[in-house]
Amino acid sequence: MNKKLLHIAYILVLLVLFIIFEIDKNTGTRVIELISPTKFVVDLNSNGISDEGETMCVPEIQTFTSNISANQNDLMKSLNLSQPDAINAGYMADEFAKEFLLNRKVKIELKPERTTDCKFADIYVNGENYTEALRSSAHAIINGKPVNPELFNQELEEAKALNLVILNRKSGKFHKLDCRYGIKSSDFLILPMAEAELQFEKCKYCIVRPEQSEKLRKKEEKTLDKSTYPEFKEVKGIKFILSDYTNHLSPHKKCNHYFCKETVNLINNTHSTLDMAVYEWSNIPEIERAIENAKARNVKIRAVYEVKPNDSVRAEMADFLSKIEEKHSDEIFENKKLTSMLMHNKFIISDNKTLLTGSMNFSRTGFSGFNANNIVIISSPELASYYTKEFEQMYGGSFHTLKKPLDSSNLFNIGGTKVNAYFSPQDKTVEKALVPLVNNAKNYIYLPVFVITHKSLTKALIDAKNRGVDVKIILDATSVRSNHTTHEVLRNAGIPLKTESFAGKVHTKSMIIDDKYVVTGSMNFSNSGENRNDENCLVIENPELAKFYKGWFEFIWKKIPDIYLKYSVRPESRYSIGSCYDGIDNDYDGKVDMADDGCR
């Protein structure tokens, strides 16, 4: 009998312990919702729902989160991360926090600090301090820097390997992390693509079409002429750099092209003053570091820049300008006509003795060699001083037709090379300088140009052809659609004119004449380039440079099929090599790559 009672008592004890365990498991202070790794809901009243006053925050530490609705711009900027990278880093941080906290019973030590929606607290799980665990993890960021940089980067690479996507739970489609259709999702989930593919549909815009683009890229690579042309030539006092854009089929922010390397070198060797005339800007990390280092050396940096009416200034340009204290835009207040004109220059003056100028915008399409451009770096205090006078006019607020002609000679001798400098609109460069050069040409005139609309220049080129001069033109594909283009007039006059057939733009504004002259600069051969916009143009008299640039022209000419002597290439299409997978809206119609009818 005693044994039976003991057995019953034993069962009752086990039952009581089980009930206590179940009650303890389902009640008490638990984390019931993770808003981010540093912000979560603790169920203080054990009712299983989020109530006012139950949101807790970790003090001092920041992390990324995969919550695409969270504003992480400042943190992304401080670490120079893209939005996809921020989501990748956030996914790993969220997973860490979920494993440590979610549905776990916790102890709370409140801090005196709080915000309107959050109490700061130290959180303990089984005696372990979550704040300290987070601080020693790969995910903690303090004062804009990872506490453990190597671990942070390692976790980021592991996240990238997962190929994360955004699942829109409402539509049942998944998207890449930078797809605008995914980012707009109100009900979303971040998960690896391998999981998403098992039961959900791919986004046609960001996944299906890029897959088609990749197939096209591989197909084009097999047939692409990968021959190259030297990308710089140096004579005494002058370095002439160009881009063989036929082998640069997508833009990027790496600094592996001479355009970028030489710009960084120029800035790094500046000791006192750096004056910059900027039409476009991209935040290239090595360029940014060079500018920050120049500021740390107490280099005085000034900028004049282009701003269009109703333009808040493009985001990366605005970021650049925020770092430059002395600057002036070309906006002429209360004068829409003047403000509609462009500050189209792209030049840098270093220490009032070295000049960098040409057709290249200070952007990723420029610095990477994606667009066909050229720049010249000239060591000449006299020429640099001449450009400084022009810069001072703009920096003082005189842009466009408000500027005055400079009162000193525009002819410079640089190590035996004659260089004439011209500025628009005051110098009337086409009429007074370029048309006379064309009229005096004896053997050939080759023009790799973005656009030709100037009627006097068009007539002079036709006259030159008619007197036996070999005139050839390579024209950018987008420019055949521009207003007032004269390319058909030139073709009808018998001048061989090819529209280029590569993804990047022929952005040069140049001529090569008689193995003697090179014309280059920012000025398009148009009425606006001559009479409205702020531009600069150089006429360089040097046989070595002229022959070098002529060789580049002939090299590109051979790569463009002869069929484009007659037909014009659609700039975003399967006929324009690389344009269907370069990530650029080549024809400005709002559609990129496979979203464009020409690519489909």
Residue 4 has what pLDDT?
A: 67
Per-residue model confidence (pLDDT) at position 310: 63
Q: CATH number of the domain that 121 lies in? A: 2.40.50.90
Structure tokens at 489: 């007039």
Q: Is the dihedral of CA 44, 49, 50, 52 positive or negative?
A: negative
| pLDDT band at residue 468 using 50, 70 and 90 as cut-offs | very high
Answer yes or no: is 155 within a domain.
yes
- Count of all residues that appear for the chain in the document: 600
Residue 27 has pLDDT above 50, yes or no: no
Integer-rounded Cα Rg, in Å, for the chain is: 31
More confident residue, 81 or 235: 235
Q: Is 185 domain-assigned?
A: no
What is the CATH classification number for the domain harbouring 339?
3.30.870.10
Residue that is last in its domain, among 142, 161, 180: 161
Q: Is the pLDDT of residue 15 over 60?
A: no
Q: Whole-angstrom Cα distance, residue 390 to residue 534?
A: 10
Q: Residue 154: how many CB atoms within 10 A of its CB?
A: 13
Let me know whether 401 and 322 are in one domain: yes
pLDDT > 60? residue 17? no
Residues 154 and 236 in one domain: no
Query: Based on the domain organization, do 97 and 245 belong to the same domain?
Result: no
Q: In this structure, which amino acid lies at residue 174?
A: F
Q: How far apart are CA 234 and CA 533, in angstroms?
A: 30
Q: Do 514 and 427 share a domain, yes or no?
A: yes
Whether 470 and 552 map to the same domain: the answer is yes
Q: Are residues 148 and 254 in the same domain?
A: no
Q: Is the peptide bond before 425 cis (omega within 30 degrees of 0)?
A: yes
For the chain, percent of residues with pLDDT exceeding 70: 94
Q: Mean pLDDT, to the nearest integer, of 362-380?
A: 97
| Residues 241, 106 share a domain | no
Q: Is residue 98 part of a domain?
A: yes
Q: Do residues 206 and 592 touch, judged by C-beta distance below 8 A?
A: no
116 to each of 57, 69, 111, 578, how far by Cα in Å?
Answer: 12, 19, 14, 52
Question: Is 191 part of a structural domain of the chain?
Answer: no
Residue 227 within a domain: no
Indicate the average pLDDT of the chain: 91
DSSP code string of 544-581? HHHHHHHHHHHHHHHHS-GGGGTS---SSSTTSBTTTS
Predicted pLDDT at 19: 44
Name every residue whose Cβ is closer than 8 Å to that of residue 80 and which is 6 or more positions away in sequence.
285
> How much is the average pLDDT of 286-301?
97
- Taking 80 as the threshold, does the pLDDT of residue 346 lie above it? yes
Question: What is the C-alpha to C-alpha distance for residues 527 and 458, in angstroms, rounded to an integer?
Answer: 12
Is a pLDDT exceeding 70 seen at residue 9? no
Q: What is the mean pLDDT of residues 262-278?
A: 98
Task: Using the predicted structure, report yes or no on whether residue 445 has a pLDDT greater than 80.
Answer: yes
Is there a domain that residue 154 lies in?
A: yes
Q: CA-to-CA distance for 305 and 313, rounded, in angstroms?
A: 10
Tell whether 23 is covered by a domain.
Answer: no
Rounded mean pLDDT of 201-226?
83
Strand ranges, E, within 283-365: 300-305, 326-329, 347-350, 354-358
Last residue of a domain, one of 161, 194, 209: 161
Region 339-358 average pLDDT: 97
SS3 365: helix
Domain that holds residue 126: 28-161
Parallel, antiparallel, or unpaired: how do β-strands 118-125 and 55-57 relate? parallel
Say yes or no to pLDDT of 217 above 60.
Answer: yes
Closest C-alpha to 582, from 245, 280, 318: 245
Are 495 and 362 members of one domain?
yes
Work out whether the CA dihedral 102, 108, 111, 115 comes out positive or negative: positive
Q: Is residue 388 part of a domain?
A: yes
413: pLDDT strictly greater than 50: yes
**Is the pLDDT confidence value at 303 over 60?**
yes
The model's pLDDT over 82-103, given as tens digits with 9 standing for 90+, comes to: 999 999 999 999 999 999 999 9
For 193-202, what is each residue's pLDDT tens digit? 999 998 999 8
Average pLDDT over residues 214-234: 90
CA 295 to each of CA 347, 351, 402, 424: distance values in angstroms, whole numbers, following the listed order: 19, 14, 31, 31
Across 582-586, average pLDDT: 89
Q: Which residues have a catalytic role annotated?
A: 507, 509, 514
Q: Is the pLDDT of residue 39 over 60?
A: yes
Total tally of structural domains belonging to the chain: 2
Q: Which residue has the higher pLDDT, 217 or 502?
A: 502
* Among the listed residues 410, 439, 447, 450, the one whose alpha carbon sits nearest the alpha carbon of residue 426: 410
Cα→Cα distances 108→39, 121, 332, 548, Å? 14, 6, 59, 74
CA distance 406 to 399: 14
| Helix, strand, coil content of the chain in percent (nearest 5) | 35, 25, 40
**pLDDT of amino acid 5:** 63
Residue where a domain stops, chosen among 161, 176, 192: 161
Q: Within this chain, do residues 111 and 250 fall inside the same structural domain, yes or no?
A: no
Tell me the average pLDDT across 378-391: 98
The pLDDT of residue 21 is above 50: no
Stated as kind and residue range, the H or E segment containing 107 is strand 107-115
